[in-house]
A and B are shown apart, each in its own frame.
Chain A
Amino acid sequence: MRTRIVPVLAALFSLSATTLAFSAEKTLSVAAAVFPRSLQTGQSSFAALSLIAQTNEALVGRDNAGNISPGLALKWEAVNETTTRFHLRQGVKWHDGKDFTAEDVAFTINRIVDPKVGYGLLARIGQVSGAKVVDKYTVDITTKTIFPTLVRGLSDIVIEPKHYYEQAGEQAVIQRPIGTGPFIYKTYVPGDRYELTANKDYWGGAPKYENLVIRQIPEAATRVASLIAGETQIIEEVPVDLIEQIESSGRAKIDEITTSAGLILTYDVRKPPFNNPKVREAFDYAINKPAIFKEILKSRGEILDGQLLTKSTLGYNPEIKARPYDPEKAKALLKEAGFNFKTTVPLATQSGKYTSDVDIANVVAGMLNEIGVNATVNVVEGGVWSQMSTALEMGPLHMIAWYSLGDADFSSVWFTKLGKRSVWINEEYDALFTKARSTSSEEERVKYYNEMMALMHKENPAMFLFGLPSIYAVSNSITGFGAASDKVLRVNKAELK
């Protein structure tokens, strides 16, 4: 019997063919919290873009701070109001050795603007009508109207190889992507790991190590342990309560940056009690934002200045200040508004979607309780949340974050009729938004967004809380890596000691 069990056990516990590193090859291991379902391009999640961006690049590059730089296009200029000409980088090769040309760009753009393709990030370049090859290294992108965010939007759209699509078909491209980027696809196991090798011919300089492994470790405490144990060198999404463990380990340090995400509490202004502007104002005075920022977020990120936009976003209005914490004034305003203190005010939030989301919700509810408001926290599961959100029935109060990606257009749209997500509709706000979208003058756009932010501050469709942090932890053996405000992993310049 024993002789029969042994081979069975051996088979059960069979060692997978992971090569043990006796060679001098260097491997950088990164632990991610979330993995996308596949490597299909166009998925509108940071987790997806973060993996895809290792192999594939966009016309326009974007750095960790959100600044735009030349990518596969070296420069661009407006031909007329609705046409922009892109001059491509020459001598760039796909991972299979073929030349990267304007044909690839035109193919990619024309493919994804077809709504039937269902490209999730299409909204980033929503006004684009198509692309035309001018010569081998020049391409014109046309838009339906003036489209001021075209260039920034293109920094999310990776260019794909035309020849590979035509030879192998879409499924093959998803299964085994080919790009022009710093790393070459090796193997992807959803839920487990993404292995890549360095592209020695990368136009931006070959990475200084041979292999890149991105592992999914969903549990934060385990991610931290893997870093301290030296199994990984970079970990994403460090929860604030584990920062101290990392810092005291002496083996790694924290690297963080404020994202462009503004965390806000949105009121349902259609119904009582929040159809009364005085109640909304009172709630704003009732919350001690600096205290929450210090105690819960450990001062990571920033406190929003009474507006949706974070400080580094184009359109941020420096003249607006957050309302101070003043519980007495809050109580007085509520009495004035005839607020019924017996009604329950549920605050809807998701769990684990944003940094410390449930903790923040709990403290906010607690502070509301202190002024006599019967606030409760309602943690909503993701699937149910999206159903509520599409139906525009989120309850009286819900916590959500909107990403601006550095430009007010991307987040302010969610409060317009056009965005289809807002229960607060303001004609003046909408008109300003349309004006901002119809000019390519940055100065004018900033002016309009400033006015929009002032209007929102006055009307209080939401309570503006925090600019969320993006927190990484990095092993002391790594240099040349920085935290990214857009949560896209950029490791090709990293070096292992």
Chain B
Amino acid sequence: MLRTIAHRLTLAPLTLLLVSFVTFIILRVTGNPVDIYLDINRTPEQVAALTERLHLDKPLLVQYLIYLRDLVQGDFGQSLQYGGPAIDAVITSIGPTLRLLSAALLLAVTLGTVAGLVAAVYRDRFPDAVLSALAVAGQSMPSFWLGILLIQLFALKMQWLPTSGSGGFKYLILPALTLSAVLLPNFMLVTRTAVLDLMNEQFVATARAKGLSRIRILLTHILPNAANPLLSFLGIQIGTLMGGSIITESIFGWPGIGRLMISAVSNRDAPVVLATVFLVSITIILANLVVDVLHSIIDPRIRH
């Protein structure tokens, strides 16, 4: 297993390199920071100074290599928007995003598993029909719309929760719910399918023949075996969740990395964009690694 981890970790820098290269080139090709940061009354000296500072006078590839050289020394560069080190801006906003992501993940996984189980057990009966219909509705509902709907209902009508902003636990509920909706319906459907597949397996028939209770079979025989497809699914969806957080953060005024990223992209603040992409990529790589490790713990066959 250690070998698997080591192997994956050696691949990680390659992924990061590729991601940073593509991001860097796209940013540079689609907008010139000099045009954004110096207004029309700029002097040629100002243009020359900024161009030199950002190495814009050099070929793109050289610019990228300079960026890499600084990066190796742990320097993500100075944020053009904020003045300070780019990494500082990213670190202050990654906390709120991680909080939001973990809450959404927790919600999606617990609710999704329970709903999936119920739907599978009551296959083609009323609970299944309702839950599956809800899942399809949830899948096709844009988070943007759902977010506003939740605000209208829970913050305006019921007045239980705040509309937006960050603070205590109650500020987290609506954004987490909105973000979890990106994942929850799919998670439920995957659980349902996995459980249904397993129900036809011989070991389930054996367990039933032994006279075990239905609930016991479900929890101790079927669910552990369903964990594998669910984990794989989760690994793929973490990126989607990250993407979904950008919209959710905007709706709820949540001060996270998604909004930082939007403003950094539109201001062509390359150091911040790259630092963000870097951290997000690392998060996704690590999350997938954790998923893989869990896989091999759950299923010994994968270890070989």
Contacts and interface: CB of A to CB of B under 8 A. Distances in A.
B30 A384 contact: yes
A123 B36 CA distance: 16
Interface in B31-79: 31-32, 35-36, 38-41, 43, 45-46
A18 B268 CA distance: 34
B148 interface: yes
B219 interface: no
Contacts of B172: 13
A389 to B, nearest CB: 7
Interface stretch (A128-136, A211-219, A293-301, A310-318): A211-219
Nearest to A383: B31
Interface in A122-176: 122-123, 126, 171, 174
B35 A419 contact: no
Contact of A221 (B36, B151, B168, B255): B151
Contact of B169 (A15, A219, A389): A15
Nearest to A36: B81
B168 A16 contact: yes
A220 B43 CA distance: 38
Contacts of A221: 148, 151, 251
B264 to A, nearest CB: 10
A191 B96 CA distance: 12
A215 B253 contact: yes
Nearest to B99: A12
Contacts of B260: 191
B190 interface: no
Contact of A386 (B35, B162, B163): B35
Interface in A378-423: 381-384, 386-387, 389-390, 419-421
Contacts of B166: 16, 192
B40 A216 contact: no
B165 A217 contact: yes
A18 B31 CA distance: 40
Contact of B32 (A120, A189, A217, A390): A390
Contacts, number: 127
B250 A219 contact: yes
Contacts of A381: 266
Contacts of B40: 390, 419-421
Given A118-B46, A229-B156, A384 B39 contact: no
A190 interface: yes
A34 to B, nearest CB: 9
A431 B47 CA distance: 29
Q: Of B41, B83, B267, which is in contact with the most chain A CB atoms at under 10 Å from its CB?
A: B41
A250 interface: no
Given A115-B46, A191-B259, A383-B36, A18 B41 contact: no
A162 B89 CA distance: 28
B140 interface: no
Given A15-B169, A382-B266, A38 B35 contact: no
A13 B103 contact: yes
A218 B159 CA distance: 21
Given A40-B83, A120-B39, A383-B265, A229 B162 contact: yes
A109 to B, nearest CB: 17
Contacts of A123: 39, 41
A37 B155 contact: no
B44 to A, nearest CB: 11
A229 B159 contact: yes
A226 B31 CA distance: 35
B251 A219 contact: yes
Contact of A383 (B89, B163, B168, B266): B266
Interface string B119-152: 0000000000000000000000000000110011
A37 B89 CA distance: 10
A191 B258 CA distance: 11
B93 interface: yes
A426 B206 CA distance: 92
A288 interface: no
Given A44-B39, A229-B163, A386-B36, A13 B151 contact: no
Contact of A387 (B31, B99, B165): B31
Contacts of A218: 250, 253, 259
B30 A12 contact: no
B82 interface: yes
Contacts of B187: none
Nearest to B96: A192
A225 B82 contact: no
A383 B151 contact: no
A222 B251 contact: yes
B102 interface: yes
Contacts of A389: 35
B24 interface: no
Nearest to B83: A38
A387 B251 CA distance: 29
A96 interface: no
Given A225-B155, A229-B162, A189 B255 contact: yes
A145 to B, nearest CB: 16
A217 B164 contact: yes
Nearest to A382: B266
Contacts of A193: 165
A16 B167 CA distance: 5
Contacts of A192: 165-166, 253, 255
A190 B99 CA distance: 18
Given A18-B167, A225-B151, A386-B31, A216 B103 contact: no
A259 B256 CA distance: 32
26 contacts: A12-B99, A13-B168, A16-B168, A37-B263, A37-B267, A38-B81, A40-B83, A115-B45, A115-B46, A118-B38, A120-B39, A189-B255, A215-B164, A217-B165, A217-B253, A219-B164, A219-B251, A221-B148, A222-B164, A229-B159, A229-B162, A231-B162, A386-B31, A386-B36, A390-B32, A390-B40
Interface of B: 30-32, 35-36, 38-41, 43, 45-46, 81-83, 89, 93, 99, 102-103, 147-148, 151-152, 155-156, 159, 162-169, 172, 250-253, 255, 259-260, 263, 265-268
Given A38-B83, A192-B166, A217-B253, 19 more contacts: A12-B99, A15-B169, A16-B167, A37-B263, A40-B83, A115-B43, A118-B38, A123-B39, A189-B255, A217-B164, A218-B259, A219-B148, A219-B250, A222-B151, A225-B163, A226-B163, A231-B163, A383-B31, A383-B267
